[in-house]
Amino acid sequence: MRVRNKPWAIELIPEHPELIVEHGQDLKGKWQTRFARKQPIFIEVGMGKGQFVINMAKKYPDYNFIGIEIQKTVVGIALKNALEFTLPNLQLLYADGADLTDYFDDGEISKVFLNFSDPWPKTRHEKRRLTFKSFLKVYKQILIDNGIIEFKTDNQGLFEYSLVSLNNYGMEFDNVWLDLHKSDENVENVETEYEHRFSVKGQPIYKLKAHFI
């Protein structure tokens, strides 16, 4: 996602330290202190404008959620959207999702959401894909034992690549959906901005759920 610079969005960030964290290395191992209650923490890597992570926090108050985004303007937009609600189980982190071990301690996270990540289709860019083995190693480190990854995309090539990558890493699949919106899983599905845009056009949405063993 690329958006034009919006000064108001960037200026909004320092006004709400209760909801947004810039960088966050000092909170490594201490993220529970940012929430009203101590409960399992789920993170979304690349939250975009926040539609998914905000609605997940609304729907599941018994879990804590952290949305992570590297683009400052986009973070500001997500912050504006989050401020429309009172969500004591939500935090936003302005940081690079490629450096998760800088922000989270071993076993601090219970689930990782990867939604509509950049497919990086060229072979020479394989290492940038968020389901490449080096990223999987990081997720396993910050996740609890048997920690879960949920991955959604509209990109068939990236989905097929991810199935192979996770399988080769030794992960166990809980389920795989080749057309999410035509499955029973869609009953409880929370959409992202991109997902809604693609699904209304009739494009299939692919999803997998897997855990480390």
Q: 85-131 pLDDT, tens per residue?
A: 999 999 999 998 788 999 999 999 999 999 999 999 999 999 999 99
Q: What is the pTM of this model?
A: 0.95
pLDDT of residue 1: 53
- Over 90: is that where the pLDDT of 4 sits? no
Q: Does the pLDDT value for residue 187 go beyond 70? A: yes
* 118 flagged as catalytic: yes
| 192 annotated to a ligand binding site | yes
Task: Tell me: is residue 99 an annotated ligand-binding position.
Answer: no
Tell whether residue 201 is among the known ligand binding residues. Answer: no
Determine the pLDDT at residue 68: 97
Which listed residue (118, 174, 179, 184) is catalytic?
Answer: 118
122 has binding-site annotation: yes
Q: How confident is the model at residue 71 (pLDDT cuts 50, 70, 90)?
A: very high
Measured at the CA of 74, the angle between CA 163 and CA 197, to 5 degrees, comes to 55
The pLDDT assigned to 23 comes to 80
Domains of the chain with CATH codes: 7-211 (3.40.50.150)
pLDDT, tens digit (0-9, with 9 covering 90-100), for 138-186: 999 999 999 999 999 999 999 999 999 999 999 999 999 999 999 999 9
pLDDT attached to residue 98: 81
Which residue do the tokens 């909004």 mark? 12
Q: Rounded to a whole number, what is the largest CA-CA distance in the chain?
A: 45
Residue 154 labeled ligand binder? yes
Angle 68-74-77 from CA coordinates, rounded to 5°: 105
Contacts of 88 (CB under 8 A, 6+ apart): 35, 36, 37
Provide the pLDDT for residue 200.
87
